[in-house]
Amino acid sequence: MRILVSNDDGIDAPGIRALAAELSPLGDVVVVAPDRQRSAASHSISIHHRLYVDEVSIPLPGAVGYAVSGTPVDCVKWAAVTLGKEQPFDFMVSGINEGPNLATDVLYSGTVAAAGEAALLGMKAAAFSLIGPEFPFDTAAKVARQIVDRFISFTWPVDTFLNVNLPPECENAPWHVVPLGARGYHNIFHKKVDPEGRTYYRHAGEAVDDLSDTLTDSQVLQAGGVSLTPLTYHFTNESILGSLKTAFLHGETAEER
């Protein structure tokens, strides 16, 4: 079995090393990750910049590692084309992220995007994130392995992948398969001045509690559970297709208006 591992915290992050170590008994582990911190890179790719790839040491039997100068999605694309062409990967895992990826977080997360790109390329994929502090990555990796053992045998639809969030005390926490929550943020921009006298801003945010009526990923984490959410990049709002056709295609002509 061939396993691709990536993240957005960088190839030296403790979360990715713990995850790779825990999955290594399953087969050949190939770690391809950004050469530095790339949190909140979302699904961005490098178009106007060169991609540099350096082979790095991964202290696991049979494991190989590559540090890429681009985004998490760059890493997955490069790995699939250059390393997976002759020997395709059986599945892909992303993480373990230092911090949760809940509700609207998935729109910005490089951890989630890496798994999403793998799904788009036809791989079974899962993203793992750990809420903290503290961040017991070794324990979280053991739980991630238990989840992987189940998800690799599950028949996944095309363009669908798994997003998992783990609480700090995750070893005996209950698992819940739930939808994304509605948690958002009060955006804050702190105004500062750099040493040259130029004004700049630091983006921050305060999370807004999820008050949904149904159980969601945010609520599961607040209660100390493990959330598992199937995600897809099928963005079409099917519920308004019919009314939109009526309004735009069968309504008044420009002359009639």
Helices (H), the chain: 14-23, 72-78, 110-120, 137-151, 217-222, 241-249
Check pLDDT > 80 for residue 147. Answer: yes
- Tell me if 242 is assigned to some domain: yes
- Tell me if 144 is assigned to some domain: yes
- Tell me if 198 is assigned to some domain: no
- Tell me if 202 is assigned to some domain: no
CA dist 91 and 180 (Å) reads 23
Express each pLDDT in 86-131 by its tens digit: 899 999 999 999 999 999 889 999 999 999 999 999 999 999 999 9
Q: SS3 for 145?
A: helix
Inter-axis angle of helices 137-151 and 14-23, nearest 10: 50
Q: Which string of b and e fits 181-204 if b means at least 16 CB within 10 Å?
A: bebeeeeeeeeeeeeeeeeeeeee
Check pLDDT > 50 for residue 34. Answer: yes
- Enumerate residues 6+ apart whose C-beta is below 8 A from 123: 4, 80, 88, 89, 90, 91, 92
Check pLDDT > 60 for residue 257. Answer: no
| 34-43, 66-75, 247-256: the lowest-pLDDT one | 247-256
- Tell me if 123 is assigned to some domain: yes
- Tell me if 45 is assigned to some domain: yes
Express each pLDDT in 164-201 by its tens digit: 999 999 999 999 999 998 766 667 888 999 999 999 88
Structural domain boundaries enclosing 155? 2-182+213-249
Confidence tier at 252 by pLDDT (50, 70, 90)? low
- Tell me if 235 is assigned to some domain: yes
In this structure, are residues 29 and 119 in contact, taking their beta carbons and an 8 Å threshold?
no
- Tell me if 201 is assigned to some domain: no
CA dist 5 and 118 (Å) reads 10
Per cent of the chain over pLDDT 90 is: 65
Domain CATH for 128: 3.40.1210.10
Written as six digits, the tokens of 28 are 């050949």
Total domains in the chain come to 1
